[in-house]
Structure 1
């Protein structure tokens, strides 16, 4: 067994995410038998003195049948209506299922504001800690009923990665209708299953697709992004099929394991790198990319080649390499309007009051 899988088996605080397609069926709504099977696996893990937080999709899917909707609606108001009906059914089903083991469920509905805004982040953290201390099982979902396009997570895979760091989880398990990560479409017999991901280079060039179930919002794209987010922040991840939940939670000998980075990011640096919403982009030359990503140095004006967005000093911005890929994120030291006359110039060429870092190393997070 790899060290990554061993860490997942031994995790004392675990976040488990399950997708809509594992719990609901188009036209039929919530599948209670599948939900019970998942809860059985979770309770076996809890019985081993492990605290579990469940991030569960399925509210919209569970609300389709009661509202006589044949498929997941595309417009936000209809999605919110389905979620308001389905969330009750989902919460009731979990309460009944965990009740078979005399466990209490606590529902936690989040919007991205709850992790993007620092004050909300701390409040959510305290709520999770108290629920777990009281022996309850927090069941988390995005608050689809009130979330707008501007404050949505977009998928519960990303939400699960953020929650994993927020609660200080020892591991994250992502369960879906796909049994592992493949180097192409798993329906193609020529593709290869990837059992271990030890670093970003292991998944470079892999093409993955969106969900085909018609119920979920993510697919493998969002799962891979969530796994890389959590692993990059120091949390090992297992990606597996919901049908293999028992094995995933007991022995972790299924699916794809993502090794954690050597050190765990602080809450502030994780928020900066993965939760905060960037307000603009700074384009860097190759030398600046090397200094920022490899040497963990501050970003100076001389290494900037372009500026996008209308941001103020103190706002979070993305840092992109010459190919346009975001390689880091940080807090801008200048307004966007101040930068055009500074970019590409060495510090000694600038007025004394402008001889400072555009992004200080203490406010900068390289991304995996």
Structure 2
């Protein structure tokens, strides 16, 4: 089986201050289709803070409140995932990780055993940063870099990032009408990796830069990343199921 990681961002999962249940269901349906196509799928899901906010609207500009919202939102988000995966006869699980897991080979090995065991038993692992105790992730990253580490250390061949950013362009498509999609990227310039971060949503903490950093990390480790829209899954379905690269950007060395 081909092992992949799918990362979905807060902007995709959030709509008008609530969880976008229709988009979440479409994501779960995609994962069920991929499993039929003999993929092992690890899901890295943002959205805990925004899920918590739907239950208790605290001021998100305060880090302590974001930690509290994450603690409230994690079980609520998992419950919604469980209900939707159940429609397709699938079990899902929650795996909360912190950055220090990837700093020691022993910790990486233990975490990989857990992930392997879940996948071997046809369970979909849903991974998120442990936001309640991980301050850094709450202010920077939006799980992009976490998903890249998950893909590398848990032996996935491909990371798929589903975002409000549907591809990587030669210039900002929000500002320039003549911006052109870059279908395949083999090298990322240092200036692009160190550009100003541009999150597009009140719940998001990343932007195109963190996605480029994730792609760069994976390419340097001999792995690939595919960036596509999380609002319309037709391009990712074409790429993964039909083998046709119609939209999105493939980052590969």
Q: TM-score, normalised by structure 1?
A: 0.63
Matched with 2:10 is 20
* 1:144-193 deviations in Å (ceiling 9; x for gaps): 11223499984300000000011111111011001101122211213222
TM-score (ref. length: structure 2): 0.90
1:87-138 C-alpha deviation (Å, 9 max, x unpaired)? 1111011111111111110110000011112221111111111111111000
* 1:65 positional shift: 1.9
Cα distance between partner residues in 1 of 2:16 and 2:105? 38
- The reply to whether residue 81 of structure 1 matches residue 68 of structure 2 is yes
Counterparts in 2 of 1:36 and 1:93: CA distance versus 1, 3 Å: same
The reply to whether residue 166 of structure 1 matches residue 153 of structure 2 is yes
Specify the alignment match of 2:106 in structure 1. Answer: 119
Q: Does structure 1 residue 54 correspond to structure 2 residue 47?
A: no
Size of the aligned set, in residue pairs, is 245
- Contact (CA 8 Å) 1:132, 1:138: kept in 2 or not? yes
Structure with more of its chain in helix, by fraction: 2
Which protein has the larger Cα radius of gyration, Structure 1 or Structure 2? Answer: 1
Distance between the aligned counterparts of 2:68 and 2:138, measured in 1? 17
Q: 1:116 to 1:257 in 2, by over 3 A?
A: same
Tell me if 1:64 matches 2:53. yes
Is 1:180 the counterpart of 2:170? The answer is no
Q: 1:77 to 1:205 in 2, by over 3 A?
A: closer
Higher relative contact order (CA 8 A, sep 6+): 2
CA distance in 2, matches of 1:24, 1:151: 16
The answer to whether residue 40 in structure 2 is matched with residue 36 in structure 1 is no
Structure 2 SS opposite 1:39: helix
In 1, Cα distance between equivalents of 2:139 and 2:197: 21
Distance 1:76 1:128, change over 3 A: same
Matches within 5 A, 1:118-137: 118-137=105-124
Aligned CA RMSD, in angstroms, stands at 2.1
Residues 42 and 249 of structure 1 are in contact (CA less than 8 Å); yes or no, is this contact kept in structure 2? no
Cα distance between partner residues in 2 of 1:34 and 1:108: 22
Distance 1:26 1:230 in 2: 33
SS at match of 1:251: helix
The reply to whether residue 259 of structure 1 matches residue 252 of structure 2 is: yes
